[in-house]
Amino acid sequence: MTQSRTPDGSRESGSRWTSGPTGQAVTLAVAAVGGLVFQQLQVPGGAMSGAVLSVALVSYFNWATPLGNLLRLTAMAITGISIGSALSPETFANVGNYPASILLMACCVVMVTASSMFVSNRISRWPKPTSLLAAVPGSMAYILSVSLSLGADPPRVVIVQMVRVIFLVVLLPLIIVLESGAHMGAVGVFEIDPPLVLLGNALVSVAAGLVFVRLKMGGGMIFGSMLVSGFIHGTGLATGRVPFDITLVGQVMIGAWAGSRFAGFDWALFGRTIVASTLAIGTSLAVTLAFATFASKFLGMPFGATLIAYAPGGLEAMVVLSLGLGIDPLFVSAHHFARYFLINLTLPFLIRWLMQREGKTPLA
């Protein structure tokens, strides 16, 4: 089968399954098997990490199909509603601690970007534009849109951005468990919302998510549904949770979506850049660990919560991970949305400055 390279380093075709419903069903089935195996082994955050790894593995053999937009939005809606239902009036008791922690997180973002860029540029000898765009923790759509104009290498940028999420999903739960000395694979018993409450919550939450999607807000579906579901449960209008089995379905679907992004991927390029990518990702993780440890010690925040809140990973993956590990999702989501806005507000100015230094015409 003939394949052509896309700007992000993947290939336009090559899945051995059809790209329609059959291929997506197979991808979801693979994700479900991987997620359930990890869940049965009581791996922390196993439903999502198992799904990500299993789908990424079959992607190597071109047996995975990227999930369509409808399935992706469904996964985001289930996850957002589930996360929101984990909130309660007591959850907001520590909101007063957020400003200092978010300020520290902003410093962490700067240091993660600077240190990762330094390693890629000085040690791996990647050009500065490629090093910068690979180092920025987030905003991949904008990063790819300016990569060619900046003279960066989009495939290398995408590899670091995508592999970073895989590293974090797999490693963070293990780090948290080892640091805390506790086993976090088990799930506690909680009250379930009645069917009519579940249905009403789902309808209004999805409606809010669609509004944010319409407004083109990053992570709009998960944010909107989480916001409304969180309001309903945080104010005590509903006192139960989304059934655990439904929550697992959302986590597996999120994992399938993340893993399917490797479908048709240029694995030869991945092999040539894995050492440089690992160095950059390892550096960013080390910096994040240092900041999380500092926040835990001096701000009195739980180490696991600060580690996931400061982690340079995708919003959806990190918030889902917090839910799976029993960590306050409100705290984690607040930090990741702050990071999202910080990056999107400052990155255009940073790009313009670097383009001027490289002697290129700034973007309009």
pLDDT per position as a tens digit, 303-321: 988 999 999 877 767 877 7
Residue 236 has pLDDT above 60, yes or no: yes
Q: Is the pLDDT of residue 34 over 60?
A: yes
pLDDT-derived band at 292, boundaries 50, 70, 90 = very high
Domain residues for the domain of 326 are: 69-242+266-357
Predicted local distance difference test score (pLDDT) of residue 147: 67
Q: Which two tokens stand for residue 73?
A: 């939005």
Q: Tokens 């994992």 sit at which residue?
A: 255
Higher local confidence (pLDDT), 92 or 334 = 334
pLDDT value, residue 218? 58
pLDDT for residue 4 is more than 70: no
Per-residue model confidence (pLDDT) at position 6: 46
Residue 110 resides in a domain:
yes
Q: Which pLDDT belongs to residue 92?
A: 61
The pLDDT of 14-39, averaged and rounded, is 79
Report yes or no on 79 lying in a domain.
Answer: yes
- The span from the CA of 39 to the CA of 166, in Å, is 17
Identify the pLDDT of residue 9. 45
d(CA 360, CA 87): 48
pLDDT at position 98 is: 78
- 3: confidence class by pLDDT, cuts 50, 70, 90: very low
**Residue 119 forms part of a structural domain:** yes
pLDDT above 70 covers what percent of the chain? 80
pTM, rounded to two decimals: 0.67
> In which band, very low, low, confident or very high, does the pLDDT at 207 lie, cut at 50, 70 and 90?
very high
In a domain, 153, yes or no: yes
Per-residue pLDDT band for 155 (boundaries 50, 70, 90) equals confident
Instruction: Name the more confident of 179 and 284.
Output: 284
Specify if 107 maps to a domain: yes
Mean per-residue pLDDT over the chain, rounded? 79
Is 5 a member of any domain? Answer: no
Helices 329-357/220-234 angle, 10° precision = 150
Q: What size, in residues, is the chain?
A: 364
Total of domains in the chain: 1
DSSP 242: -
Asked, for residue 23, whether it belongs to a domain, the answer is: no
Q: How many CB atoms within 10 Å of residue 28?
A: 23
- Which pLDDT does position 7 carry in this prediction? 41
pLDDT in tens, 115-137: 999 999 999 889 888 898 889 88
- Which pLDDT score is estimated for 183? 43
Label residue 87 by pLDDT band (50, 70, 90).
confident
Q: Would 158 be classed as within a structural domain?
A: yes
pLDDT tens digits, one per residue of 189-201: 578 889 999 999 9
Considering only CA atoms, which of 132, 127, 130 is closest in space to residue 110? 132
Contacts of 263 (CB under 8 A, 6+ apart): 10, 14, 15, 27, 59, 62, 64, 65, 66
Rg (CA), the chain: 20
Residue 86 in this model has a pLDDT that exceeds 80: no
Contact (Cβ atoms closer than 8 angstroms) between residue 85 and residue 240:
yes
Alpha helices in the chain (DSSP H): 21-40, 46-60, 69-85, 98-118, 128-135, 140-150, 154-180, 195-214, 220-234, 244-260, 267-298, 303-310, 315-324, 329-357
Q: Which residue has the higher pLDDT, 20 or 279?
A: 279
